[in-house]
Amino acid sequence: MITTIEHFSNEIFHEIFEYLYGNEIYKAFSRLNYRFEQLIDDPCLQYKILIDYSSNEKRTKKKLKRVCQMNKKQIFCISIWTWINNTEIISSLDFNSSYSNLQHLILSYIQPNTISVVLHQLIELPRLYSLTIQTEDTIKTFGKIYQLVFTLPKLRYFKCKADEATNEIINKSLPIASLEQLTSIEQLIIDHPCSLKQLVHLVSYTPKLQYLKFLNLNDNNKKNFNFLSSIQLPNLTFLSIQSYHTMFDTLETYELNGFFHSFWLQRQWILEIEVECDEITYLIHPYKKRWFEYNEQKEIDLSKSRQVILDIVSPEMWYSTLTIHDYIKHIHSAMKIDQLHIRPAIFVVKLIEILELLPELDALKLSTISFSDPRKVTQDEFIQMFCLTNQIRITKLYLGKIRQIQHVYFFLTICPLIKQLEINNLPKKMKIKLFLRLLLIQIKNRSKFSNLRLLCIRLPLIDDKMILKLKQMIQDESLLVDFTIKRMMDKVYLEWK
């Protein structure tokens, strides 16, 4: 029976130590007894070291002293997060080949004049795969810094962060790479101002790059932007460009429709656009199953999966010069929109105005629809809505929350081509049997509802007994003839021919 911590096996201590920093382990266990002295010197143990901001200079120096006493071969990660004696700390670590297992190094608050000194030392590290350099100051002639970084033989990940960075003559400090200068870097994060022309020089050293993120400030020169087309990065799967005040026409090299070329479709990657308060975000990511794709055997046409997500429907509340129509028109000028997801509650009049702008829309997902907030819909507005039915081509509709069944009738009327309808929440106090009976009677008696073939309703308490009762009701009352009804998790699927 284990009664004290000393009875734990070495394997258990190894697992515990994975959650602790090496300098704290050394402080706690190095002077307990012979067993623990042997344990912490076990070459199988790999330590991560953290030197962070402490309440006083004395404690910081004690942490550093403990690190210097440790076996350097056991250290695989060092993170320095302190501005107190930062240069002294980094210098005293004396990076050399004795750190034979050091794989990850983070140097924060480092002085620019110290960076070059450290980088010369890091060349001796045989297993340094990841390096992060952060400074609060300006890096002048940053090409020289990258030139040294690109000499690190095993580096796979590099991040450089600075408030400001300059390098007017990049051709001198960092010429285009020769074959002998190519690196193995796969992830590069340039978190400081960098022009597109400078970027071309940087990535000429990284042909294996898979992940690229960089900060581009106010580079509106179309000629410079076209430099991107000359970049050859065949392994690149992620690209993030943080840019401010860029004119839309400078983005012509990266037309949105380009994301629907065979290169992306073969890899099942699709474009998704998200509209928030004052920004439009364009995302390219692996395809994920959409709400209307319940049939796994049906082939998916990814070229018609252009989805826009609206997180705001009234930007004019904050920005008097912007309306949701401006956002929609801007996106629609670049590509067709097949699917629309509106997350906030939306007034039905505004919804119809949006649908007028999207005649090719095929799928619509709504969280909450209002017919009375901020005001009641007028009779003239209803008449105008019903006059638009021939323009609306929606075949798939998702209603997150409905207050009454008449709202379902409304959508089936103005969207007569609907084939698939999903309802996430039934009206309050309405039972599923009554709701289904009323809806199927309307479908049976009104020709405008005749295209509907699939109904999905989410019911948290549904079970197989209820499915049998619903099936019996439909048969007894002859509401449908050739149909199937089934339960999948908490959803009821009713399909008919």
Average pLDDT over residues 379-399: 90
Report whether pLDDT(205) > 80.
Answer: yes
Question: What tokens does 151 get?
Answer: 């000499």
195: tokens are 């022009």
- In whole numbers, what is the pLDDT of the chain averaged over residues? 83
**Pairing outcome for strands 130-140 and 104-107:** parallel
Side-chain half-sphere exposure of 159, counting CA atoms within 13 A: 13
* pLDDT tens-digit series, residues 405-461: 999 999 999 999 999 999 999 988 889 999 999 999 998 888 778 899 999 999 988
Whether omega for the bond prior to residue 193 falls within 30 degrees of 0, making it cis, is no
Quick one: average pLDDT of 230-237? 79
Q: What is the pLDDT of residue 228?
A: 58
Low-confidence winner among 160-174, 225-239, 308-322, 414-428 (lowest mean pLDDT): 308-322
Query: Amino acid identity, residue 406?
Result: Q
496 versus 318: the higher-pLDDT residue is: 496
Closest CA to 334 of 268, 243, 391, 252: 252
Q: Once rounded to an integer, what is the mean pLDDT over residues 13-40?
A: 74
Residue where the block lists tokens 């009375």: 372
Angle in degrees, 0-180, between the axes of helices 57-69 and 86-93, rounded to the nearest 10: 10
What 8-state DSSP symbol labels residue 148? H
Distances (CA, A) of 332 to 212, 310, 398: 28, 14, 22
**Distance, CA of 8 to CA of 383 (rounded, Å):** 79
Beta strands 483-488 and 491-496 are antiparallel
Q: What is the mean pLDDT of residues 356-364?
A: 91
Q: Determine the pLDDT at residue 253.
A: 43
* DSSP letters spanning 236-265: --EEEEEEES--GGGGGGG-GGGGGSHHHH
Output the pLDDT for position 55: 47
pLDDT at 107 (0 to 100): 93
Q: Is 163:138 a contact under the CB 8 Å cutoff? A: yes
The rounded distance, in Å, linking the Cα atoms of 463 and 461 is 7
pLDDT band, very low/low/confident/very high, at 372 (cuts 50, 70, 90): confident
Higher confidence at residue 64 or residue 272?
272
Residue 398 in contact with residue 364, Cβ under 8 Å? yes
The torsion of the CA quartet 27, 32, 36, 37, rounded to 10 degrees, works out to: 70
- Cα torsion 92, 97, 98, 99: sign: positive
Residue with tokens 């839309």: 248
Total length of the chain: 497
Residue that has been written with the tokens 């992306």 in this structure: 264
Alpha helices in 387-491 (DSSP H): 405-414, 432-445, 464-476
Pairing outcome for strands 280-286 and 307-310: unpaired
Alpha-carbon distance of 202 to 213, in angstroms, equals 12
Q: Where are the alpha helices (DSSP H) in 422-497?
A: 432-445, 464-476
Q: Across 61-75, 266-280, 476-490, which has the greatest mean pLDDT? A: 476-490
